[in-house]
Structures are given as C-alpha cells and as structure tokens.
Structure 1
Amino acid sequence: MRYALPLAAIAAIIAVPVIAQQSGPPGAPDKARVTAGTYAADPGHTMVVWEVDHFGFSKYTGLFGDVTGTLVIDPANPAASKVEVTIPVAKVTTASAGLTGHLLRAGKDGGKPDFFGAAPADAKFVSTRVVLDDDGDEAKVTGNLTLNGVTKPVTLDVDFHGAGTNPYNKKATVGFNAEATIKRSDFGIAFGIPAVSDAVDLEIHAAFEKQ
C-alpha cells in the first residue's frame, strides 16, 4: 500500500539539505534585509507568553499561540509602520490542565467567570504610534489592546530580531521580540489579587511573512 506524503512534509524534506549547507540561520539581525510591504503573522511561530507571580513563591507562565494579523512596514519610513494582531484567548495553554480549565471555566451558577470564561472573545492589539531609537533596531510601539471586552492603551518595547527568506516557503520574513507589563484588573480580571499578582508580564515573539 502506498502512502501520500503531505506537501508540507515533502517541502520540509527537500529543504533540509539546503538548510544544512548554510553557515548560519536563514534570518539575521540585518535591517538591510527588510523590504517594504505587507506581512502576515506566521501563526505557528508567533506567540504571547504571559507571567504572573503566584503567592510570592514562584512565577507562573502561560501561552497564547496561533496569533494572526498583519504588519505594514517601509524601511524608508519605519515610524509609519502599522501592526494589527488577533490573539485567540480560547486557545490559552498552561502547564496545568486544571489551571487551563479554570481560566476557561464558566462562572458558577451563571455568575461572572473568575478569568476568561467558556467562550472568550479574541484579544486584539492595534498600533497607533511607533517611536524608534537612534539605531532603528528598537522601538516603542503604542496601541490599543482589547482583552476581555475592555480596551486600554499599551506600549510594547520592541526589538528587531532578524530578517531573511524562509527556506521552506521562500517568503521574505521579519521577526521581532517585545515586552510589556499590564494590570489584569484594568481588563476586568481581578480574581485572586493580591495572592496572584495583578501585574502580568508579557513576552511576545513574532514572525511575519511577506504577502
């Protein structure tokens, strides 16, 4: 019996020797590699990591993946860049099945959920301003974050990570890392404060592919 390999698997097999011959990774922190255009977030390699302090004993980390969205960028005018992403809150992941279930649990007896609830709306971030540093590889990106039905301004500290061509799909790709801290109570999520910190540290890793 013959089995047909998925196209993605075939592409990966073909690309492996090509990658093996390279002296380094396909991407590099070289701004000259960035080309103007509209890019789409690579949902398989874009994620939002969140961290809270638990009881003052340890840090606890979770993850939002499958992020989608667009980035419009022009190296000749990077301050005019725009980014809009959607984060599927319903796909939140933690190291504990019990905690993940609690985050997505309906409110008791029809009451308000402790966290996001059973059918949370996607979160969205839409940029409103980009301010670059003198070197042009770091920026403060301010925008509106909508989470749990509440919209608040948030500023991300963004670092340019790298750019190049993805060897699998041949798409021009740019990547960034970003950090921010928000207060979950600002978004109507106050369960467990102060035993579990109000402050939530966000660490974002994003890859965008040119369309």
Structure 2
Amino acid sequence: MRILPLALLLLATPLFAQGTPEASAAKSGSYKADKNHTQVAFTVTHFGFSLYNGMFGNITGALTLDTAAPAKSKVSIDIPLADVVTTVAKLNEHLQSADFFDVAKFPTAHFESTSIVASGTTARISGNLTLHGVTKPVVLEARFIGAGGNPMSKIETIGFSATTSIKRSDFGITKLVPMVTDQVDLRINAAFEKI
C-alpha cells in the first residue's frame, strides 16, 4: 500500500523539486503577470509593539525576458490599491481612504523597471514606483524561483520574488507616522505566464 504514494511522489519530484532553481529553464519572450498567483505584501511596525502585514492581489503587469542579455529585460506591474487586504475589515476601508492610499484619486500603484543587473539566480532591478501621485526611484532585490510548464494550465510560467523598502512619507502618505512606521517593507511574489 505504500508503493503507490511513493511512486506518485517520485513522478512529481521533477516538477516540484526543492533546491537550487535552474535558471536555464527560463525562456526568453513576452509574459503577462498571473494575477491569481502574484501578490504584493507590506509590513509596518505598529505602535512599536508588533509587525503588521497587509497584501494586495489582482496584480497585472508584463515581463519581457531576454535570457541571453538579461540587461535588456523589462518588467512592469500595476497594483490596484482598492484590493488591499488585512485581517481587519475596517482597516481595509481606512487604508483606501484619503488618510492613506486615497484610492478615489489614485486607484493604482505602478512600477516600471529602468535597469536590470542579473547575477546567477538573483537580480537588482532598478525602476520607478508611482504611488499616491508621486514617482520615486526604488531598487528591488529579486531572486528567481522557478520556470517551466504549469502542470495545471500547461502554460510556460516563470516566477520571482523581490523585496524593497520605501518611506511612505516620500509618497505623501504620512498619517500616524511615527506611531505606524514610515518605513514600509515590501515583498513581491510574482508569477508570469508566457504569451
């Protein structure tokens, strides 16, 4: 009875193997963000007592990947700010208000790369972030997660994770600073599907 589960595990291993991702699996071309599997998470320190997380979904965007010349690659993402989610419904509403994101005036945040410097399975992605009507340069520290045919959709997919930190006051979002920290740590988990 144990042979069948073991056999299934061995068959699945190439698809879901742990360890160092193989950058050679990545294919050049044009990709679009898989909005069902792309997330932008943020962390702030709340009143000096705890770290607090929130997340955005329904991310859209595009990736142009050149594996032979990674510096020629480009990435952009759009974040619908009304889709902010925390563990408190009233806070979700407050974050959408003029006190914070002011989604009625500024419904979307946008990142556009200006340069990419790759080294193995990591990359430094410089670009411009537009948030709350203000555009500032940011640098994403990115790492390649994996690439290959999606076992469900059969679509060629590639994934990355990236981190950066911003000061929200640089974008005119100052409510409750410093009780809720000015520094906001961001993590982008992105899946892109080949088109």
Q: Same fold judged by TM-score > 0.5?
A: yes
Offset of residue 80 of structure 1: 1.2
Aligned partner of 1:207 in structure 2 is 191
Poorly superposed stretches of 4+, deviation over 6 Å: none
Secondary structure of the structure 1 residue equivalent to 2:157: strand
Aligned partner of 2:102 in structure 1 is 117
Q: Residue 35 of structure 1: which of 23, 27, 41 is its match?
A: 27
- The gaps in structure 2 that reach 5 residues or longer are 1-7
Answer whether contact 1:50 1:63 (CA < 8 A) is retained.
yes
Question: How far apart, in 2, do the equivalents of 1:167 and 1:25 lie?
Answer: 8
Calculate percent identity across the aligned residue pairs: 49
Question: How far apart, in 2, do the equivalents of 1:177 and 1:204 lie?
Answer: 6
TM-score if structure 2 supplies the norm length?
Answer: 0.90
Q: 1:81 to 1:19 in 2, by over 3 A?
A: farther
Mapping 1:117-196, distance limit 5 Å: 117-119=102-104, 120-133=106-119, 136-196=120-180
Question: How far apart, in 2, do the equivalents of 1:138 and 1:55 lie?
Answer: 34
Question: How far apart, in 1, do the equivalents of 2:46 and 2:175 lie?
Answer: 12
Offset of residue 168 of structure 1: 1.5
1:101 matched to 2:89: no
Offset of residue 170 of structure 1: 1.0
Offset of residue 169 of structure 1: 1.5
Secondary structure of the structure 1 residue equivalent to 2:145: strand
Question: How far apart, in 2, do the equivalents of 1:92 and 1:20 lie?
Answer: 39
Answer whether contact 2:35 2:60 (CA < 8 A) is retained.
yes
Aligned partner of 2:3 in structure 1 is none
- 1:98-149 Cα shifts (integer Å, max 9, x gaps): 11111123xxxxxxx210125232110000001122xx21111000100111
TM-score if structure 1 supplies the norm length?
Answer: 0.83
Answer whether contact 2:81 2:103 (CA < 8 A) is retained.
no
Corresponding letter in the other structure for 1:140: R
Question: How far apart, in 2, do the equivalents of 1:130 and 1:156 lie?
Answer: 9
Secondary structure of the structure 1 residue equivalent to 2:24: helix
Offset of residue 50 of structure 1: 0.2
Aligned partner of 1:9 in structure 2 is none
Answer whether contact 1:103 1:115 (CA < 8 A) is retained.
yes
Q: RMSD value over aligned CA atoms? A: 1.7
Answer whether contact 1:47 1:65 (CA < 8 A) is retained.
yes
Q: 1:19 to 1:79 in 2, by over 3 A?
A: farther
Corresponding letter in the other structure for 2:131: L
Aligned residues: 185
Question: How far apart, in 2, do the equivalents of 1:200 and 1:166 lie?
Answer: 33
Answer whether contact 1:73 1:82 (CA < 8 A) is retained.
yes
Q: Residue 80 of structure 2: which of 88, 97, 115 is its match?
A: 88
Answer whether contact 1:126 1:145 (CA < 8 A) is retained.
yes
